[in-house]
Structure 1
Amino acid sequence: MIQALMLSFQSLTDRRIFAVLVKVTLLTIVSILILGVGLWFALQGLFGWLNVNDDSLWSGLLSGAITVLSGFLLFRVVAVAITWVFADDIIDAVEDRHYPRQAAFGKRPSLGAGVRMAMRSIMRVLGYNLLALPLYVLLLFTGVGTAIAFLLINALLLGRDVEDMLIARHGAKGAINKLPRLMLGLMGTAGMLVPLVNLLVPILATATAVHWVHSGHSKL
């Protein structure tokens, strides 16, 4: 896994992958800003409807806090969904450079298929995290329990997303065994929490999975 991760960092020097990185980064930032502004005004409208009269001080602070927190939670959803749309460009670049034999047998899904898989990814993330919300609240008293539960649940989901990208291209040969998939998901989910690094994570996770599968370790 470490070797595959190191190779994925090298992939960032590839002109084609760098172009995808720029597109994913710009689209993610724009999407988060639009969602943030929309959430801010929605919260202000909600407080107005509830007749919260505090000269906008507390409602403004609360809106800001909720918007920032939601930004962290939504970043992973938005970044991975946008990466889904360009995932095949990433896989193409890595396979053409390192694994031309496997590239010849891969079947590139259509853009429509990528969009549909992105929507399924979004629904999975939102659905599972909403279902886990009571667990997150119950574990708050432990201090670290909520963070651990969040990491594990989202690591499983991110690992599933990355594996699905490869299965869509290579069928069963793109599958990753459970432990490596969890490790990849954990690294990716943890990286999503680090500013600036989180912009690279979807690209790196996809490239790492390609290297892992094609290096013959996918079933270990």
Structure 2
Amino acid sequence: MGAVAKSLALAFGQLSDRAILRVLLKTVAITLLVFALLGVALFQAILAASAYVGMSIGAEATYFVSLLVTLLLAWLLFRVVALAVLQFFADEIVIAVEECHYPECAATARKLPFNEDLGNSLRGVGRALLFNMLALPVALVLFFTAVGPAVVFLLVNAVLLGRELTDMGWFRHRPTADAPSPVGKIDRLMLGGAITGLMAVPILNLIAPVVGAAAGTHLVQIFQRKSP
């Protein structure tokens, strides 16, 4: 618990770092652009579909429906898209954190090639979609308990996020491709839970992925130093 709290405090404290701010701005801008393009595509698709069936609902109604659907998808998929985008800039966060707090490790942080970044990003998206889809039936069964679905998705995404955020820092230092992360499952779960909670809060959800990646890097370094 102490290591996770320390990692989060250090991550928030470095938000004013220029390198971190650059990644934050790029991640937010690209993520919002993805959903904006999705909204435009939905608008055009609804217009085309209504014209095809010979039933025009008007531009204003089409705009309203596409906006509503886009906002719903943004609420459901923001974490998935933001993490996929962040994966391509994760090395910048790792290096910024290490140069500031662990300068002796900065020189050894391996910059991942594009194909490896892409593979990690696609695997992360695949895991997120798969496990959230598997959790959906459980959430539906618990729908009438009010808090049941929220708890189910919080736990699932806490596990997924904890792994992804610590992997961002670990992949650049692991000696072999199958070397296990030095961060334990409980600490990964707590970090993932904290960031999942932040991503449910408007405004904070924009900075949560970057804070999580920085905190994950701190956790990796903290536990590497504890390893014999």
Deviates more, 1:48-57 or 1:7-16: 48-57
CA distance in 2, matches of 1:210, 1:203: 11
| One-letter amino acid of the counterpart of residue 102, structure 1 | C
Q: Distance in 2 between matches of 1:62 and 1:138?
A: 28
Q: Is the 8 A contact 2:50 2:57 kept in 1?
A: no
Match of 1:175 among 167, 182, 205: 182
Is structure 2 residue 70 aligned with structure 1 residue 67?
yes
Distance 1:143 1:51, change over 3 A: farther
Between the aligned partners of 1:140 and 1:218, the Cα distance in structure 2 is 44
Distance 1:63 1:31, change over 3 A: closer
Residue 100 of structure 1: CA displacement?
A: 1.3
Give the aligned residue type for 1:2. A
The 3-state SS of whatever aligns with 2:40 is helix
Q: Equivalent residue of 2:111, what SS?
A: coil
Distance 2:182 2:53 in 1: 50
Other structure's SS at 2:92 match: helix
- Residues 19 and 59 of structure 1: is their aligned pair in 2 closer, same or farther, counting only changes over 3 Å? closer
Which residue does the alignment assign to 1:214?
221
Aligned counterparts of 2:46 and 2:136: Cα–Cα separation in 1: 20
Please state if 1:205 is matched with 2:208. no
Q: TM-score w.r.t. structure 1 length?
A: 0.87
Q: How far has the Cα of 1:63 moved from its partner?
A: 5.2
What's 2:21 paired with? Answer: 18
Structure 1 residue 15 displacement after superposition? 1.1
Residue matched to 2:201: 194
Q: CA deviation at 1:200?
A: 0.5
Q: Residue in 2 aligned with 1:123?
A: 126
| 2:39 counterpart of 1:33 | no
Q: Equivalent residue of 2:172, what SS?
A: helix
CA distance in 1, matches of 2:143, 2:65: 20
Amino-acid identity (%) = 38
**Partners of 2:156 and 2:54 in 1: CA distance:** 37
C-alpha change, 1:20 and 1:59, in structure 2 (3 Å) is: closer
* Aligned residues: CA RMSD: 2.7
Query: Quick one: structure 1 residues 202 and 43, their matched pair in 2 at CA, closer, same or farther if it must change by over 3 Å?
Result: same
Q: Which amino acid aligns with 1:83?
A: L
- Once the two structures are TM-superposed, the CA of residue 21 in structure 1 deviates from its matched residue by 1.1
Going by fraction, where is helix more abundant, 1 or 2?
Answer: 1
3-state secondary structure, aligned to 2:120: helix
**Alpha-carbon distance in 2 for matches of 1:217, 1:168:** 13
1:162, distance to aligned residue in structure 2 (A)? 1.2
Q: How many residues align?
A: 220
Superposed CA offset, 1:143-163 (max 9, x none): 110111011111111111112
Note the residue ranges of structure 2 that are not aligned, 5 or more in a row. Answer: none
Deviation of 1:166 after TM superposition, in Å, equals 2.2
TM-score, length of structure 2 as denominator length: 0.84
